[in-house]
Structure 1
Amino acid sequence: MSRKASLSGFHEWLPAERLVEQHVLDTLRRTFELHGFAGIETRAVETLGQLLRKGEVDKEVYAVSRLAEDEEVAAGRREAKDPADPKRLALHFDLTVPFARYVVENAGHLAFPFRRYQMQKVWRGERPQEGRAREFTQADIDVVGDGELSPRHDADVALVMAEALGALPIGDFLIRVNNRKLAEGFYRGIGLTDAAGVLRSIDKLEKIGADEVARLLQEEVGASPEQARQALALAAIRTEDVSFVEQVRALGVSDPLLEEGLAELADVVETLHRRAPGRAVADLSIARGLDYYTGTVYETVLVGHEQLGSICSGGRYDALASKGNRVFPGVGLSIGVTRLVMRMLSQEMAQASRSVPTAVYVALTADEDWSEAQDVAALLRERGIPAEVAVSAEKFGKQIKYADRRGIPFVWFLGRDDAGARVHEVKDIRSGDQHPADPADWTPPAEDLLPQVTRTESTEG
């Protein structure tokens, strides 16, 4: 991971690194499907009008244009488009907004509640840094209802993500949960009407500290020193169980929306505490910057790597997808796969046992054996054993060295006995063990069949 990308913010993995990423994606897909989520893929582009309906990411969006159109503008044959033209095309910056559009357009073909997972590239014009890229992969799960959606799904998606992350070689993690109704009701109860502004300031708490957030609350949303103190007191509450409810009530603030949020968060935290102990906490500092969240919100950190920021986040959105009077409320979580893999590789948290899928390299004794060597490889592949064949009969030492350099564990030899009959032998080039083998039934040890991705014993915190 010390290599410098030739185009900043756009990562390209080496084969062994790609195997780690693929392992992450395969593990997530397998877990999502076990929980009944159906895979979909949406187009890479949306209109600006669609993308910018919610949230504050307009300066991070990559707009798309045709070179021919740009040339016509430069030549004066066409007027330049307004950069903010809502019909202009742009690359999607997350998968939730495109998914909301997908649900609306395909509502007549979907069975609700609709459970979907999606693993795709997204693009965001941020300044590249540790954990942030301009092109990156996200893995999302969402449950969307038609008109209504049981709050039980809020806990369900978090449990699925806890299981998925727990199956990865990343060590401990913590899902931090809050509720926007709770926060907004509390702010309303202390007289702060610009809830979105307060949330934006609170969202910066870990980056800039309580004193600076207090200053922002007073300067940007008009909070008094006492209101700022109360908002920060709420954000300081963090519990592993539902004891946060009494801590909030002890602050002496009342509001119907606050009570609704407390009840919803208590249900989620109680379920997570019972079914995934040690994996989640109620953390009332979690705000989530995007405006479309309306209830439960989540952020997930790697224990010992908190400076990386959230590796998995999301929440409840009740009004993002609508069609006339028909509303499709949803709840979902998104894993920043590229951010996670970058940390796994840079901190050597996990490694692949080899850099290629090939388990067996079929060597050539003579060039005329090439066709028969292909038959051997075909027999192995029929039984799911990845194999490739040498293209020329070089010295065995050179062929073995080639296999070793690529990380292939076994080399297959075709020979003949004294009577001229064909014989086969396979060599484990790591141990030097070599013995007769039949391509119709020989199988490598299970751990050598495919590359294995495992957590390393020693990782940096």
Structure 2
Amino acid sequence: MAKLSGFPEFLPADRAVEQHVLDHLRRVFELHGFANIETRAVETRETLLRKGEIDKEVYVVQRLHAAEGESTDLALHYDLTVPFARYVLENSNELDFPFRRWQIQKVWRGERPQQGRFREFTQADIDIVGRGSLPFHADVEVAQVMAEALAGLPIPSLTLQVSNRKVLEGFALGLGIAKPTAVMPIVDKLDKLPRDRVVAELHHLGLAEAQAESVLDLASISGGGADVAERVRALGVSHPLLDEGLDELAAVVDGVQAGGAAGAAGLGGVTVVADLRIARGLDYYTGTVFETRMAGYEHLGSICSGGRYDQLAADRRTTYPGVGISLGVSRLLVPLVADGLTASRSVPSVVLVSLADDESRAEATDVARRLRARGISTELAPKPDKFGKQIQHAEKRGIPFVWFPADGSVKDIRSGEQIPADPDHWDPPPADLRPQILSITKEQLS
């Protein structure tokens, strides 16, 4: 049977890696007071299509036996931010603001499958939303929290790139460009298109040669927050919105650096830089924007992105500004798993209880029950083969211990050590209670 491309599925040991990552993210998010929600898989097409240039990416939901002429108005969500905005509006009377949410769910996009890009994938989001207003320090906080979460994962080092759309918009206004927001999605293509193609698109937008070159000079600037501000001002363009954006940009970069996440990750940690190429293509971003690159996997593009959105959620009376950041869990993990990131065993089982014969199954079941009652994952041998075959069965599954009920002993099949043991008191080493993640080494990356 042909395999469907763009719909990743993990083998058990690799799924254990994914679960480790998701559990870690949840712990960090909840340590910072973010509450979990889940939103429905479908939204109306009107809701999805008015939020940016994503009309070709939406999967429409249609009944197999729909009545003739029946219109289809539902589509699978392509991200978690748009559904979250709708959720906030519908539940605003029941939520406490500022509302802090984490959400991990599947999303769907009709993209051409390639490495790091899928039609179905898992995202992990955090957002802070206010009612009427949201202080700027929320921008700093979501970046700090995600940097802390990323820094604790067994993955290569990361670079968190921060920009602010007010910088580009204010710079364009200072150049006299009539439609500054139209420049942003073009600048956002700099990682995908050659410079001359981007210049041509800027000219098509109506920019003069000097204006286009100045915009690209701005987009070439990256580094520390204060250094970036000095280099931008040296370009000789001024506007109040530009100044506001530069101040906010420096505050986020400095705030994440002060948060201490850098250097904590498995192979190098998280480095934060200001990078003015980053504009984000979706229309709803209004200020701070984020993208994240992984060392050795830069060809994947950004694996963690987001930003500030001031108008995404609004009704006739109230606006609910927010800021959030989203980790593409599948984009992050699928290439790493393909390159060797895996778990030490394919099952959660710590112990395999052996069977001497069918008559001893009740005794073996009792041993397993007593071990499980103490939180030790345990399974029974499938049949009473010779003990050597039962041990081979445990080895194949990565189970570290085999229990022998007949003589009340347990064997570490890695070392060969076998000791008397009581299922009501014996404990495995803490490291064996869960599958261990076998990280990719620096040698594998080189």
- Please tell me the TM-score bracket, short chain as reference: over 0.9
1:238 aligns with one of 215, 219, 222: 222
Partner of 1:323: 315
Q: C-alpha displacement at 1:279, in angstroms?
A: 2.0
1:360 aligns with one of 351, 357, 369: 351
Matched, 1:39 2:36: yes
> What is the SS of the residue equivalent to 1:119?
strand
Q: C-alpha displacement at 1:201, in angstroms?
A: 1.4
Give the Cα separation in 2 of the matches to 1:273 and 1:411. 48
Partner of 1:337: 329
Q: C-alpha displacement at 1:80, in angstroms?
A: 4.9
Give the Cα separation in 1 of the matches to 2:291 and 2:425. 49
Pairwise CA RMSD: 1.5
TM-score where L is the length of structure 1: 0.92
Partner of 1:54: 51
Whether the 8 Å contact between 1:241 and 1:273 is mirrored in structure 2 is no
Matched, 1:252 2:236: yes
Aligned pairs, number: 437
Give the Cα separation in 1 of the matches to 2:52 and 2:99. 24
- Structure 1 window deviating more from structure 2 (267-276 vs 161-170): it is 267-276
Q: C-alpha displacement at 1:5, in angstroms?
A: 7.5
Residue type of the alignment partner of 2:101: R
Matched, 1:19 2:16: yes
Instruction: Name the CA shift for 1:287/1:5 in 2 (closer, same or farther; >3 Å).
Output: farther
Q: Deviations over 1:53-107 (max 9, x none)?
A: 21110111001011110xx32xxxxx253x7xxxx01100000000000000011
Give the Cα separation in 1 of the matches to 2:381 and 2:298. 48
Give the Cα separation in 2 of the matches to 1:275 and 1:382. 40
Partner of 2:95: 110
Matched, 1:196 2:181: yes
Give the Cα separation in 2 of the matches to 1:304 and 1:405. 32
1:304 aligns with one of 291, 296, 307: 296
Alignment of 1:36-435 (within 5 A): 36-69=33-66, 72-73=67-68, 79-81=69-71, 88-219=73-204, 221-276=205-260, 279-348=271-340, 350-415=341-406, 423-435=407-419
Partner of 1:418: none
Give the Cα separation in 2 of the matches to 1:375 and 1:161. 45
Residue type of the alignment partner of 1:61: V
Residue type of the alignment partner of 2:140: A
Give the Cα separation in 1 of the matches to 2:179 and 2:17. 44
Unaligned runs of 5+ in 2: 263-269
Whether the 8 Å contact between 1:178 and 1:283 is mirrored in structure 2 is yes
Give the Cα separation in 2 of the matches to 1:302 and 1:248. 26
Partner of 2:267: none
Whether the 8 Å contact between 2:409 and 2:420 is mirrored in structure 1 is yes
TM-score where L is the length of structure 2: 0.95
Instruction: Name the CA shift for 1:5/1:312 in 2 (closer, same or farther; >3 Å).
Output: farther
Give the Cα separation in 1 of the matches to 2:387 and 2:363. 17
Select the structure of larger CA radius of gyration: 1
Whether the 8 Å contact between 1:321 and 1:329 is mirrored in structure 2 is yes
Give the Cα separation in 2 of the matches to 1:114 and 1:359. 40
Q: C-alpha displacement at 1:267, in angstroms?
A: 1.7
Give the Cα separation in 1 of the matches to 2:12 and 2:178. 53
Give the Cα separation in 2 of the matches to 1:271 and 1:445. 39
Give the Cα separation in 1 of the matches to 2:225 and 2:54. 34
- Structure 1 window deviating more from structure 2 (187-196 vs 228-237): it is 187-196
Give the Cα separation in 2 of the matches to 1:24 and 1:343. 15
Whether the 8 Å contact between 2:155 and 2:440 is mirrored in structure 1 is no
